[in-house]
Chains A and B, each alone.
Chain A
Amino acid sequence: MWVTFYHIFGIVVFSYSIVLMTSYVILVFMSRQAQNQQDINVPDDETIKYMMQGSPLTPAVSIIAPAFNEEVTIIDNVNSLLQIDYPDYEIIIVNDESTDRTMELLINEYKLVEVPYDIAMRVPSKPIKRVLKSTDERYSKLIVVDKAHGGRKADGSNAGINVCSNKYFVCTDVDCIIEPMALYRMMWLVINSHKPVIGVGATMLMSNGCLVEDGRVTEPMVPNMLFPMFQQLEYLRSFFIGKIGWSRINALPNISGGFGLFDTDIAVKSGGYDSMSMAEDVDIMLRMVTYMNNNGFEYQLAQVPKVCCWTEGPSNLKSLTRQRIRWARGLFEIVINHKKLFFNPSYGVIGGIMLPYIFIFEFIAPILELIGVIMLIYFTIKGGVNWNTSGIVFGMVYSFSLFMTSFVILSDNKAKAVNWKHKKISYIKLIIATIIEPFMYHPIVTYSSLVGYWRFIRNKAAVWAPIQRTGVKKK
């Protein structure tokens, strides 16, 4: 019976791999098409700025950045946000009742005083204790919201939405380093679409290993440390193939919580962020999509192919596993909370194609891998493994992943998405990461996903803890 099961399982897994690889090839084509389209529709940064900066019609944007115990980096990061190049924007820092000196530092540095705030609690969040603004004209864009502890980023973001006054808001992490032209790049997609754009995703990369000067990444580099290097590769693949490819058919899988732009009205009407969710970024996007579909409104989701934001990723095993466990729990939550969207073509391409794809190839994949590993161990002991065939299949997967990395490198080079300091070295590092990834990185990610699923099933309380930061190189 075991042998029959082994054969059937082998056929299932093989077919699964072939379908997965075919879908990747389709995504590669879609991504290429989307980039070609953007080559025509999106001019260079200077032209975008030239068109938008002098016009009072350029839509205003609110930047919301929740902060919890960020005393080490808060001032640098707020200064970095204040340097963003855009004609009309406000910055809303939401302090989630930090227990360190975050609030004190902000008050002293920016000469903040308490002001009355807009009373409309449009989306649910923990009570806002006070809103502060600067008495110094140089910081007039800055608003600091001090709220009761919510424990989740989503709660802070909701408080920010309640205070924001602009048609669009960007949600970011306070530790993110934002490219000066990021808002122009995102808003260009908004102002150029004849359909209402409800969300714009931005390409995000790891700041680990990069040189940072005055709150700007001046020398982008692929990190030397292994875990950040793997993540850099993963981010590049996800943004250049996945997100850009899906955006071609208006089915963006998610708008990253690190830096994503949303339409405030639609976000409010959809109920804002789910304060209890571990994947608040996917959740809000799906809520907005549900709202638009249920009301029969047209909408557009867009993705910027150029890097807009740099974030520090986990650099050690502990932080990495903790982050991935959280992500896995988040994915499980999404599957449960938005189950009516999955395999439902009435929600357009997102419900009919993208979410089933996520379910089959992202949600189920770790479980299948676990079964595969158990079977391999069992049949290795029993002596029933055909090593020649296994070697050939392994070679197939390996060469295919190298093919994907080569495509990412080519796309990056063509789109000039990142101005790498040492381009050749960076690309060599990415290829090395691809070669060792299946042995070192992938098992950790799979293990973390399974632990995340298990914890979700056991209903073990989830705690959001910020990753341990090692800081970026500064000049």
Chain B
Amino acid sequence: MDTISYIRYYLLLVVAYIKYLSSRAFTHFEDYPFETRTAVAITLFSTFFILMMQVALFFAGIRRNKKERLRNSIIYRFGKGMAWILSEDASQLVTNDEILEAFGVDKSMAGKELLKTDVEKKMFAQVFYMDYITEKSELSRIENIHRMLELFGISEFLEKEVSLGNMRRISDALHKLRAFKLPVSPWVVNKLLNSRNQHVQRLAMYTTIMSSSDSALDYFETDFFDKHCCIRDEIELAYSLQRRRKEGLKLPNLARWANVQANERTQCMFVRLMRRFNEVEYCGELRKLFQESKKKKLIEEISRTWGYLHYVECEDMLIDTLMTQPDDTKVAIMHAMTRLGTGKSMQALLDGFRNTTNPHVRYEAIRCIYNYGKDGRAMFHKLEKEATEADQKYFAFFNNPITLEKIRLDKEQAYHPSVETVFNG
């Protein structure tokens, strides 16, 4: 019998003794009033739980030390190999023998189980994952990493983890699979997509999208998100789309997806993604949505997208609608007009400045006029000369070198296929 078993038996004895003492205590206070008996009961139960928690703390300490030792051992044995495979030195495709050599494993071990237990595999995966997300070189090759994970049995182990019932372990393993872009069996994905936990459900979906190159985006052909779309969905989708673009694949029709969704937040997300990925081709499909929608945020996002993507066909619609919109939307529409820069919207921008009381809108109108080509700049100087004392404050921004830097409308950059982005995915 090992030490842990001895401790377990000892604990059982302690529990039995406490139970015996409690029954004695209750018998002792039998004749006392209800309040006293309740107080005794609470005292005893509190004491019991305190003892239990101290024991739990003791075991947690032992477990932590054991894990720490295992972690150190993994780093000592395989740390150099991990650093090598994540560095530029492994930028070429390498053989299994080379990987084994770098990890200090004898070549005769090829095909055998290099890590004996699941605990070792879990720790190896954890240590490597941490290095991968913090120290990975841009030049390291994912194929080499996949091969190494295969050799150490990590791919198989992670797949086994995600097919378990423990949500925490599933979530943990899915994060690793997603980062390493390892494929997951379709039946496991289907199971996870029906999970009650939304986080796990989404993680499974994005892991699949990340590791497969086709058809995985079919989820969005229907109102998949319902009302449950969050900013993270947009981040994850942007990673996946970016990856597709890098691989030279055509992006799906995001405008169609925007039209399919019922929720404003989701619609806005797809419209924003169109803008970020320069999807000019489908801009026209947003016209109907713009005309029929009464959703303020959606109108803002569509206007911004048209502006960024230089969809000049929409300009008349923007001019017509400008003064009927609430203040925030007005600002978005004026920015779009400025980006289109066709010269048709000068009067609308002037209306934005003259016929509004909100100081923020007025400032933004002036900013747009300033950026509206040569005509706009001339109009800006004319307005500056004519400005009343109260209006002078709007023009002060343009005379200061620090704030002048922020005057240009370029805070949000659209992506371009030729531009390498900083995406980790």
A residues in contact (CB < 8 Å) with B: 10-11, 14, 18, 21, 36, 39-41, 43, 46-47, 49-59, 113, 115-116, 118-120, 133, 135, 190-194, 389, 392-393, 395-396, 399-400, 402-403, 406-407, 409-410, 413-414, 427
CB under 8 Å from chain A, chain B span 358-372: 358-360, 363
Name the B residues within 8 Å of A55 (CB-CB). 235, 238-239, 423
B190 proximal to A (CB < 8 A): no
Interface string of B177-211 (1 = CB under 8 A from A): 00100000000000000000111100000000000
Name the A residues within 8 Å of B103 (CB-CB). none
Question: By the criterion CB–CB under 8 Å, are B133 and A40 in contact?
Answer: no
Name the A residues within 8 Å of B375 (CB-CB). none
Q: Complex: how many Å from CA A135 to CA B359? A: 27
Question: By the criterion CB–CB under 8 Å, are B200 and A40 in contact?
Answer: yes
Question: By the criterion CB–CB under 8 Å, are A40 and B403 in contact?
Answer: no
24 residue pairs of the A-B complex, CB under 8 angstroms, read A14-B38, A21-B42, A40-B171, A40-B199, A41-B197, A50-B133, A51-B424, A52-B235, A54-B423, A54-B425, A56-B412, A116-B396, A116-B400, A116-B403, A120-B360, A133-B403, A191-B231, A194-B227, A389-B32, A389-B36, A392-B43, A395-B39, A407-B53, A413-B57
Q: Complex: how many Å from CA A10 to CA B172? A: 52
CB under 8 Å from chain A, chain B span 393-425: 393-394, 396-397, 400, 402-403, 412-413, 421-425
Name the B residues within 8 Å of A58 (CB-CB). 235
B56 proximal to A (CB < 8 A): yes
Pick the contact of A119 from B197, B228, B363 — CB < 8 Å? Answer: B363
Stretch at the interface among B44-52, B140-148, B312-320, B343-351: B44-52
From known contacts A46-B134, A57-B231, infer whether A40 and B40 are also in contact, taking CB-CB under 8 Å: no
* Further contacts, 10 of them, CB under 8 A, given A400-B42, A406-B50: A46-B130, A54-B423, A59-B231, A116-B400, A120-B359, A133-B402, A389-B36, A393-B36, A396-B38, A406-B57
Name the A residues within 8 Å of B227 (CB-CB). 194
* Interface Cβ pair total, 8 Å cutoff: 144
From known contacts A55-B239, A194-B230, A403-B50, infer whether A393 and B400 are also in contact, taking CB-CB under 8 Å: no
B74 proximal to A (CB < 8 A): no
Q: Complex: how many Å from CA A337 to CA B425? A: 49
Question: By the criterion CB–CB under 8 Å, are A57 and B54 in contact?
Answer: no
Pick the contact of B197 from A21, A40, A113, A396 — CB < 8 Å? Answer: A40
B214 proximal to A (CB < 8 A): no
Name the A residues within 8 Å of B36 (CB-CB). 389, 392-393
Name the A residues within 8 Å of B42 (CB-CB). 21, 396, 399-400
Question: By the criterion CB–CB under 8 Å, are A41 and B199 in contact?
Answer: yes
Pick the contact of A194 from B47, B228, B359, B412 — CB < 8 Å? Answer: B228
Closest to A388 in B: B36
CB under 8 Å from chain A, chain B span 234-256: 234-235, 238-239
Q: Which 4 A-B pairs have the closest CB atoms?
A: A191-B231, A399-B46, A116-B396, A396-B39
Most buried by B among A55, A119, A120: A55
Q: Complex: how many Å from CA A194 to CA B403? A: 36
Question: By the criterion CB–CB under 8 Å, are A47 and B38 in contact?
Answer: no
CB under 8 Å from chain A, chain B span 373-403: 393-394, 396-397, 400, 402-403
Closest to A132 in B: B402
Pick the contact of A43 from B49, B50, B171 — CB < 8 Å? Answer: B171
Question: By the criterion CB–CB under 8 Å, are A113 and B402 in contact?
Answer: yes
B175 proximal to A (CB < 8 A): yes
Question: By the criterion CB–CB under 8 Å, are B424 and A53 in contact?
Answer: yes
Question: By the criterion CB–CB under 8 Å, are A400 and B46 in contact?
Answer: yes
Q: Complex: how many Å from CA A392 to CA B412? A: 67
Question: By the criterion CB–CB under 8 Å, are B413 and A56 in contact?
Answer: yes
Question: By the criterion CB–CB under 8 Å, are B235 and A191 in contact?
Answer: yes
B35 proximal to A (CB < 8 A): yes
Q: Complex: how many Å from CA A257 to CA B402? A: 31
Question: By the criterion CB–CB under 8 Å, are B200 and A410 in contact?
Answer: no
Question: By the criterion CB–CB under 8 Å, are A119 and B46 in contact?
Answer: no
Q: Complex: how many Å from CA A362 to CA B413? A: 50
Question: By the criterion CB–CB under 8 Å, are B231 and A119 in contact?
Answer: no
Question: By the criterion CB–CB under 8 Å, are B35 and A389 in contact?
Answer: yes
